[in-house]
Structure 1
Amino acid sequence: MTEFDNLRHQGMRKRLVDGLKIKGIRDESVLAAIGKVPRHLFMESSFLNFSYKDQAFPIGAGQTISQPYTVAFQSQLLQIQKNEKVLEVGTGSGYQAAVLVELGAKVFTIERQKELFRKVQSFLPEIGYHPACFFGDGYEGLPAFAPFDKILVTAGAPLIPVALKEQLKIGGRLVIPVGKDNHQEMQVIVRVSEDEYKSEKHGGFVFVPLLKGVVNI
């Protein structure tokens, strides 16, 4: 424990986890991961009193740090086993990537905004998390490192990118919010065979849009 993550912060996280349980998160490993990641470090210091509230907050570059319930819900749908290779599309603040690392995954994360990519690439190792960070177009995934056991998309896609489906292992799971800008349906795509997929729907959410291309600023 350090001054950067003290008993007060840990108490706030415990209350957050208790709230997630009430909202229906049942996966004990996901709850434990949320209970370990110091979310306040991912936000401006002025937001400290809000950092463990179950809501999203802006982080710059038109992006947000996701609501903890959404992070927990998507992580639970992934059904991660230790040492699985997981691709995250949309690094953002790096908070979801840190939760995936806490779950024991080998995390590859890709971000299209160079400003956010640079920030996370230096920040996550400083607080003990070491995912493989990449700058690039999330629609393309990371074919050089495929196939992946699991793929998580943290922005709302108008459709499911074919490249991401093709980068799944057989038996692998893709969790992605699909729909228009103001409403998406959380979907789980399971690769059944080389050319067969099955899908499940898990309720409505609102995410920032998944955009093509990169921003080099």
Structure 2
Amino acid sequence: MTEMCVNNGQKRPVIRYTDFDLPEHWDIQSENIAQFPLQVNSTEYNEVRALFDKTMAKQYSEIVRIDRIRNKQWYMQYNFYKTFSSKKNTEKKLFHGCSQEVASLIINTFFNRSFSGINDVIYGQGAYFSADASYSHNHTRPSMLNGERCMFVANVLVGNSALGNRHMKTPPSGYDSTTDGKHIFVTYRDDQAYAAYLIVYK
């Protein structure tokens, strides 16, 4: 089975990895940042789609594609924090909705906290994630060109989470993130979350 990089059109064998251990092939790949569309109905594709459909079923007309994201520097920073932090057992798979323009910026950098001003910051002035894809859908924007929307599936180390408010620029002492107490989590470190997948849908 092969997959094609959307950045340069090159094909390579599919190499899956579990629990986000650093894949060996990243060391020999020339590009630091790339997107690889998942093959429809592959195990990996179905797992991501099932997570999305838990709260988004019947709320969209089509999944255009699901991309696996590779950003070496960002991933290594996240993995380092996860490996050597006491927060490694607090990892959650959460959603982050945004416009196509912001999605491109995120893939090439990280979940920049300066983007938080685009949406509500009622639980803190950080990067927002939700366990509820339908909530994150409200923060997507359809492309004027083709109506496509973008939503990330991110691995997030939430750590100890405190109830947030709009005045918080950092979590309280002894905490790592803020929350609404239900499904929303707000992070304040660049290495606290990693964009694993991008779902493009209509």
TM-score when normalising by structure 1: 0.31
Larger RCO of the pair (alpha carbons < 8 Å, separation 6+): 2
TM-score when normalising by structure 2: 0.33
Structure that is richer in helix per residue:
1
